[in-house]
Amino acid sequence: MAMDEIDYEIFGSDMQYVEVELDPGEAAVGEAGMMMFMQDGIEMDTVFGDGSQQGGLFGKLLGAGKRLLTGESLFTTVFHNEGSRKARVAFAASYPGKIVPVHLSEIGGTLICQKDSFLCAAKGVSLGIALQRKLGAGLFGGEGFIMQKLEGNGWAFVHAGGTLVEKTLAPGEVLRVDTGCVVAFQPQVDFDIKYVGKIKSAVFGGEGLFFATLRGPGKVWLQSLPLSRLANRLMMAAPASGGSSSSSLLGAGALGGLGGLMGGDDD
């Protein structure tokens, strides 16, 4: 399916949103519930899957089923410009962080990302699934066996919590990362999960028993604040959970180690 060549601008610093500019006849697809505003002339349709499927009803059901496997809504919303002049539609992330614009043709046409990181894209970008073939990565990687795969040759936008880090790994170069901090990577990057190897560090250091290893070549995108880490800290500070974690006798490190023993900051 041909991609629409959209233009965009990103606004804000820690609570960002992206404005996508559509020429007459162009369209963008957004994750359900992420639209911030749209100008006059933009019309929206809620569709099964990502709206890129061909092949009638069966193709649409197949596309929607893939999204269900990744934990996303069965539906996405397509915003198309029905006016006679350019018009904009904006999408906002649901928690503090950075929006990552990726032109898929510049990275080989495919991006593997976290299940809940997709924000919006040019119409025609396919939202599929990527299965983890390594048992360890599937069981202890925090993302399970299914991640999201974006394919096409247009712009796609994903969201990273906190500060975004983009790294380009050389062939054979290895980066060890907290499992919750991986946002996206190119498909040629080898993704696996390794055992930390030290029980004392896992229990009292708060880093969990496993970390992710990313082996180049290829680009990887990391986030400094996974949503699960933010949620854990808020829950620990809530009165119903016993108040602030900073007042704990053992300290945050010990509690964090016990709470996130298996996968660091992951759910």
Give the rounded percent of residues in the chain with a pLDDT score beyond 70.
Answer: 67
Q: How far apart are the C-alpha atoms of 43 and 108, rounded to whole Å?
A: 31
Residue 76: pLDDT band (50, 70, 90) is confident
Contacts for 166 with CB less than 8 Å, ≥ 6 apart: 100, 219, 220, 221, 222
pTM to 2 decimals?
0.75
Q: How far apart are the C-alpha atoms of 228 and 182, rounded to whole Å?
A: 12
Contacts for 10 with CB less than 8 Å, ≥ 6 apart: 16, 17, 18, 19, 99, 101
CB 44 within 8 A of CB 94: no
CB 164 within 8 A of CB 222: yes
Where are the domains positioned within the chain? 7-236
Whether residue 31 is predicted with pLDDT greater than 50 in this model: the reply is yes
Structure-token pair, residue 262: 């298996």
Return the pLDDT at 7: 92
CATH 3.40.50.720 fits 7-236, yes or no: no
Return the SS3 of 71. Answer: coil
CA neighbor of 53 nearest in space, from 108, 3, 126: 126
Q: What is the dihedral of CA 22, 23, 27, 30, to 10 degrees?
A: 0
pLDDT in tens, 148-192: 889 999 999 999 999 999 999 999 999 998 878 889 999 999 988
